Amino acid sequence: MCQLFTVHWTLTPRVPPQPWIVCGGCGGLRPFEASGRFRLNANGKKLDAWLIYKCRTCGATWNRPLFERRAVRDLAPEILEALHANDPARIRAHAFDLAGLKRHARRVDTFADHDLVKTGPLAPEGWTALEIALTVTDPVAVRLDRLLASELAIPRARLAVLASSGGLRVDPDRKDALRREPATGTRILVVPSGEEERWALAAGAVR
Ligand SMILES: [Zn+2]
């Protein structure tokens, strides 16, 4: 009989994705980083908005279009205010929008630096399987097996053994799921073999 110990992990990247853009300043294909500021241009009742990026080599700017010629009256007042105030939460939402960024740059680098918040109940008496429900707020360039190995203090080789023997399952079960970056909604089920592994998993699951 399977007694589940379910915990939730929320993975958040620390570094925004960096697009590679041909720089107007130093003239090559360069990585750019978000500057933390918007640029707005009002034209009558229409508004253009960009997020300003800076070349990491020379500091020249690239303006990433967010929207063009949008009627001001169609924008929610709080959005207008956030744009005018360079609101950090609004900046962050755009800076981490990888899909949006990929519309403007063929190459976009993502990074492994992340924060992880673990929440869950106390391990129930006699639990037999640990279930980790993963939320990934924005893409993080970290392999699932590296994440699990460092957080659960189980070597990656051991994780591979567990996976091949059915003691570790990833849902959805994509090919090479352990070697890929985890997507939000991923669930990981680990069945410990032995009391020592059970204790180690319980310790790493929520702290
Ligand atoms: Zn440059």
SS3 of the chain: CCCEEEEEEEEEECCCCEEEEECCCCCCEEEEEEEEEEEEEEECCEEEEEEEEEECCCCCEEEEEEEEEEEHHHCCHHHHHHHHCCCHHHHHHHHCCHHHHHCCCCCEECCCCEEEEEECCCCCCCCCEEEEEEEECCCCCCCHHHHHHHHHCCCHHHHHHHHHCCCEEEECCCCCHHHCCCCCCCEEEECCCCHHHHHHHHHHHHC
Dist. CA 33 → ligand 1 center (Å):
11
Dist. CA 85 → ligand 1 center (Å):
27
Dist. CA 23 → ligand 1 center (Å):
5
Dist. CA 48 → ligand 1 center (Å):
24
Cis before 172 (ω within 30): yes
Residue type, 117: V
Phi and psi torsions of 64, nearest 5°: -85, 120
pLDDT attached to residue 120: 95
Dist. CA 104 → ligand 1 center (Å):
17
Beta pairing partners, 136: 11
Dist. CA 196 → ligand 1 center (Å):
54
Dist. CA 30 → ligand 1 center (Å):
6
Dist. CA 66 → ligand 1 center (Å):
22
pTM to 2 decimal places: 0.85
Q: What parts of the chain have a pLDDT lower than 70?
A: 1
Dist. CA 59 → ligand 1 center (Å):
6
Question: pLDDT tens-digit profile of 138-148?
Answer: 999 999 999 99
Dist. CA 47 → ligand 1 center (Å):
28
Question: pLDDT tens-digit profile of 75-101?
Answer: 999 999 999 999 999 999 999 999 999
Dist. CA 57 → ligand 1 center (Å):
5
Beta pairing partners, 55: 32
Dist. CA 25 → ligand 1 center (Å):
5
How far is Cα 35 from Cα 28, in angstroms, rounded to an integer? 19
pLDDT attached to residue 10: 98
Dist. CA 91 → ligand 1 center (Å):
22
Dist. CA 21 → ligand 1 center (Å):
9
pLDDT attached to residue 49: 97
Sign of CA dihedral 73, 75, 77, 82: negative
β-strands 114-119, 61-71: how paired?
A: unpaired
- Closest alpha carbon to 185 in 136, 141, 120, 146: 136
